[in-house]
Amino acid sequence: RWPARIYIAEHRKLASMLADLRATLKPLSARIEDGATRLALLDAQMPFKHVLEHHFEREEKGLLVEIPP
The stretch 8-21 carries a mean pLDDT of 96
pTM: 0.79
7 CB-near residues (< 8 Å, 6+ apart): 55, 58, 59, 63
What pLDDT score does 21 carry?
95
The residue range of the domain holding 38 is 4-66
CA distances to 9, 33, 34, 39 from 52, rounded to whole Å, are 12, 28, 28, 20
- The total domain count for the chain is 1
* DSSP SS3 for 7: helix
Render pLDDT for 22-51 as a digit per residue (tens, 0 to 9): 999 999 999 999 999 999 999 999 999 999
Identify the band that residue 1 occupies on the pLDDT scale cut at 50, 70 and 90: confident
